[in-house]
Amino acid sequence: MNSKSNSNTKVKIPNKPFLIVAIGASAGGLESVTELLKHLPEDTGMAFVYIQHLDPTHESMLSSILSRATKMKVVEAENMIKIEPDHLYIIPPNQDMVIEDGMLSLTKRTNRPVIHLPVDKFFISLAEQQKELAIGIILSGNASDGTVGLRAIKTAGGLTFAQDDSAKFKSMSASAINEGAVDMILSPQAMA
């Protein structure tokens, strides 16, 4: 019998959409995100992106520190890296980051006098790209970065969280809560 087989033909199956969880924090955020990660399963099927206010002149150790808190693959973001489920991506120092077509896009941080709002910037891009497949979380931190971005996620149909009184520094969460941009106010453990 001399029939041709299609067993070697590969059919490209489109990627199934998945939730992307953006986590924003500043002062005290490392403790909070560590608590969140310790209680998350490693195979949620979601991707996580952590945006923390970082000193632009110092190398970040966040990737190695957070890899001890989770079994997910922890990666410092690179320009145009494809976002994959069950990964945690960390913003590098001295960079701003947005999401474009399922990839992380990095640009050099704008110098002063421009106010640096990396959490808002990423959250807004996530809302535009992911709509109802976006989740935004504000953890411990000072000032109000993340409030406008959480509002964008909520308006786009996504889900929003803010850390409760367990936050070491409460002003980032309080700003988002007072703005009405938060669906749930929980501890990091309860969020997981």
pLDDT tens string 39-63: 999 999 999 999 998 777 777 889 9
| Confidence band for 3, pLDDT divided at 50, 70 and 90 | very low
Q: Which residue has the tokens 């709002």?
A: 117
The answer, yes or no, to whether residue 10 has pLDDT greater than 70, is no
Q: Write out pLDDT tens, residues 131-165.
A: 999 999 999 999 999 999 999 999 999 999 999 99
Give the model's pLDDT for residue 80. Answer: 97
Q: Which of 86, 96, 120, 145 is catalytic?
A: 145
CATH number of 20-191: 3.40.50.180
Question: For the chain, what is the mean pLDDT?
Answer: 91
Per the CB < 8 A criterion, the answer to whether 89 and 47 are in contact is: yes
- How is residue 10 written in tokens? 């590969």
3-state secondary structure 106-141: EEECCCCCCCCCHHHHHHHHHHHHHHHHEEEEECCC
Pick 38 or 15 by higher pLDDT.
Answer: 38
Of 53, 96, 144, 175, which residue is the catalytic one? Answer: 53
**What does the pLDDT read at residue 128?**
98
Catalytic residue, candidates 26, 32, 125, 175? 26
Q: Is 145 tagged catalytic? A: yes
- Average pLDDT value for residue range 81-87: 97
Q: Is the pLDDT of residue 112 over 80?
A: no
Mean per-residue pLDDT, 115-140: 96
- The predicted structure's pLDDT at residue 165: 96
State the Cα torsion 79-63-67-73 to the nearest 10°: 10
Residue 51: helix, strand or coil by DSSP?
strand
Q: Is residue 1 pLDDT above 50, yes or no?
A: no
**pLDDT of the residue at 14:** 55
Catalytic residue at 3? no
User: In this prediction, what percent of the chain has a pLDDT beyond 70?
Assistant: 92
Instruction: Provide the residue type at 111 as one letter.
Output: N
Q: Is 87 one of the catalytic residues? A: no
> Among residues of the chain, what percentage have pLDDT more than 90?
80
Residue whose token pair is 């952590």? 50
